[in-house]
Chain A
Amino acid sequence: MLKSSQKLNYCLVVLLFFSNIGGVSAQVLDKPAVFALLTFNIARFTRWPPLVLPAISKNIQICVVGDNIIRDAFYALERESKRKRNIQIRYLSRLRKIQQCHVLYISGLKQDILRQVLNQIKKQPILTVGEGREFVQNGGMVAFEVYNKKTKLMINLSALKQAGLSINARILKLAEIVTSPFPNVKTVE
């Protein structure tokens, strides 16, 4: 019969043994925080047509479609970097006034609605960012996906080109270049 104190010891040893957080050395972050930070950093390395957003612009408008978790991650970013960076976060609860955005971050939309959003703004200089391979395959420009606990970056070059945007080659090197496999999503050579 084990004494209760011994039992507790065993429990703790077992807990430490099993818990995989103990041995982690790399930095660990929440998925929404990583995706929001990546969106912002990639936007900094994106060039818009000068008429839309001059190179030394004051404000980048980032519009967010998604639940309160992803929205909060962007708002936290906005608060944190208010002094250093000029970003404005706008939450689109009902998919309206998309034209006013420089960056559109989309999560949690049904695929058919997503395809319609992307189709509607495909020739406009809006950097579309989303989650999963399907996002870029459906005509989105930049997508993130978590694979083996690391974020994978995917970029659709033809969609960028069509909208008159370009992303710095340094970033492109880190990404997997994806093309739209769907014949009905028209791409421009």
Chain B
Amino acid sequence: MKRKINFNLSVAIVFPAFLSAVYANEKPASELSVEELLNVEVTTVSKKAQSLNDAAAAIFVISQDDIRRIGARSIPEALRLAPGVDVARINSHQWAVSIRGFNNRMSNKLLVLIDGRNLYTRAFSGTYWEQTDVVMADIERIEVIRGPGATLWGANAVNGVINIITKQADKTQGGLLTAGGGTEQIGFGSLRYGGKINQSTAARAYIKGDVRDENSLKNGQDAGDSWQKMQTGFRLDSDYTNQDSVTVQGDAFYNWMRDNMALPIIQNTQPQILALQDQANSFGGNVLFRQKHIFSPTSSYQFQAYYDFYQIKNIQRLENRHTIDLDFQHRFSVLDWHDIVWGAHYRFRHDQFNFYSGFAQIYPDQRNDQLVSGFVQDEITLIENELWLTLGSKFEHNDYSGFEVQPSARILWAFHSKHRLWAAISRAVRTPSRAEHDLSLTAGSTNVDGLPPLVVRIEGNRDFGSEHVLSYEIGYRTTAIKHFSFDLTAFYNDYSRLRSARPLALDPSNAPNYIVQPLVFVNEHSVHSYGLELATVWQPFSWWRWDAHYSWLKMDYSSQEAKEEIGQSPQHRFFVRSALSLREDVDLDIMYRYVDRSIAIGVWRPVTIKDYMSLDIRAAWRIQKDFELSVTGQNLLQSHHQEYVNPAFIQPVEIDRGVYGKFSWQF
């Protein structure tokens, strides 16, 4: 036994020595001739381990390679790779995604864009993630910006911006067929084909579909939340002159979703809870046009226009929304040390609602709103290649909250080629939603023995205004240690005028059957939050990379009511991933995450979500260069666990363990 251990030790010592011996005994690289250099074996280590970005902001980029390698079947799954992003799955088709707190199914302080198209909806202020989809293999990268981005992107970029950028059509030439299935992802497939129309014009088209199984209730029974989806789309890019390019793209989707609901109703003059199975569907589409002209390497303009439409129909409501959006941006440089970008933006929206049951009404049932904005930002080079100051502001007028100013000041100091230090102060606003202004909703009832039931009714309020944040951030990035990168951000956010529900006088007109307690939305809560976000990459070998990130968040609420109405995002979150390619044609990825306890906002009361751990493993084998087989296991540690609850009337769902297989063929 003892000899065995010695042998092991010797192997462990010899192994690294053997590796280094391979590299020794060579001519110094600087003395190689051109001919010799062309014959050297080149390693293309993923740049991420060492790359530093020059932004005075907390930016993280998720690459296509990472998205593929973790087996992400949806955009929220891919977002788990980014530090500071709180991704919680509510059920098969709903997600709660946020940055720096305030998580919710409709996280209202996070802006999401796909190729410049804004997915933030005015209806309930937030993003419908089930309508946010692309062919995963066509994503070029996802930029995740933590902290306010309102100076450039406008209102609602309060705590962050997620920019999903798809590949240009000339990068997706030929065919790509993927298909697979498993226990939770019952079946899925996508077909994309791209071709060249002429020398400077390329295009692609795709179709994809997904069938997802239902998850489980706490007791292990089926949760009735299955989901099916179809989506199709196209993109065309043309560089029609040396200085002009144009992009036209569009998508259309159809969703079928089922949910177990528990609706508060008033029946026979008595408040009751009605349990039923909802069959919802949604469909929509968009078309976008973008033209770009370049005057010189430091001067260009861009014009973008899009139309977007969706309809959601479920047992409670019908929602239709049309958006027309026009955007112009121009950048140029002055005097060698000013880089100026300015822009103008106009958006028109029309919506229409129908509520089917008596527990909710909206008035008026149709509403148009307009938004006009302009911005200017100047990046001033204070010391060449070393110190930059960026000043700017957005000026915006919208029909819901009027005039808003959202300035920011940022400074970046590159005091060494391997170190970056930055700091920023910025202001951003979250503008009111249609529901906050115009919806009246029976949120539930409480029964106290001997008294008539108390029905809580939330009333929209046209005087409800914007929520504000003043944010202070500081960050440090370094690549000073070989094979290792380190990125740390600290922030302090001062939120004011946050949404609160103020009780009005009791309405006894239905007594003795029940008494109504009206609540009206006002801006009376405030919160101070602070936190740290740490992201590291360690790449000891070109074939083995470790990514880890940790985030810590603390919130101080102005009152106990504020805490109960806002909820509490996880204080600690930790993620680690190992990406191993022992052979060039074999990938093995392991992801582990820990999410601390959180408090989600349910319909009737806050719901405590227990802390959880999760493990995903993916193995892939490229049988040929163009043909890959993979197996992905998700949420492997438990048979099911809860990550969040829907704040509306859908019953809490726990997310099941799942395994799926997939092939991907390029032709």
Interface residues of A (CB under 8 A from B): 3, 5-6, 8-9, 12, 15-16, 18-22, 24, 26-31, 33-34, 37-38, 41-42, 45, 67-69, 71-72, 75, 77, 80-81, 91, 93-97, 111-113, 115-117, 119-120, 146, 149-153, 171, 174, 181-185
Contacts and interface: CB of A to CB of B under 8 A. Distances in A.
A33 B29 CA distance: 9
Interface string B36-62: 011111111101001111100000000
A19 B296 contact: no
A111 B15 CA distance: 44
Interface stretch (B5-13, B312-320, B341-349): B5-13
Interface in B425-449: none
Interface stretch (B16-24, B127-135, B276-284): B16-24
B242 A174 contact: no
A27 B98 CA distance: 47
Contacts, number: 165
Given A34-B37, A37-B32, 18 more contacts: A5-B4, A12-B12, A27-B32, A28-B43, A29-B41, A30-B43, A31-B43, A37-B29, A68-B417, A96-B298, A112-B243, A112-B292, A115-B294, A116-B242, A120-B296, A120-B297, A150-B41, A152-B38
Contact of A71 (B242, B243, B417): B417
A146 B42 contact: yes
Contacts of B18: 22
Contacts of B40: 26-29, 34, 150-151
B30 A81 contact: yes
Contacts of B50: 68-69
B584 interface: yes
B52 A67 contact: yes
Nearest to A72: B417
A60 B336 CA distance: 24
Given A34-B37, A67-B47, A72-B417, A29 B241 contact: no
A20 B8 contact: no
Nearest to B32: A37
Contacts of A150: 38-42
B12 to A, nearest CB: 7
Contact of B543 (A19, A68, A113, A117): A19
B74 interface: no
Given A27-B41, A28-B23, A38-B37, A12 B11 contact: yes
Given A9-B11, A75-B417, A94-B339, A182 B245 contact: no
B297 A68 contact: no
Given A16-B15, A31-B44, A68-B417, A182 B30 contact: no
Contact of B333 (A45, A81, A94): A94
B33 interface: yes
Contacts of A31: 42-45
B8 A5 contact: yes
A80 B32 CA distance: 13
Contacts of A146: 42, 44
Interface string B274-305: 00000000000000000010111110100000
Contact of A94 (B23, B245, B381): B381
A174 B34 contact: yes
Contacts of B598: none
Interface string B583-620: 11010000000000000000000000000000000000
B417 A42 contact: no
A117 B297 contact: yes
A117 B543 CA distance: 35
B502 interface: no
Nearest to A32: B47
Contact of B298 (A30, A94, A184): A94
Nearest to A13: B11
A171 B339 CA distance: 40
Given A72-B418, A93-B54, A96-B336, A18 B39 contact: no
Contact of B35 (A27, A67, A174): A174
A4 to B, nearest CB: 9
Contacts of B44: 31, 146
Contacts of A22: 18-19, 22
B537 to A, nearest CB: 13
B38 A151 contact: yes
- Name the residue in B29, B42, B381 with the highest tally of chain A Cβ atoms < 10 Å from its Cβ: B42
Which 5 A-B residue pairings sit nearest by Cβ, starting from the closest? A18-B582, A5-B4, A95-B297, A28-B41, A117-B297
Contacts of A77: 30
B8 A8 contact: yes
Contacts of A27: 26-27, 29, 32, 40-41
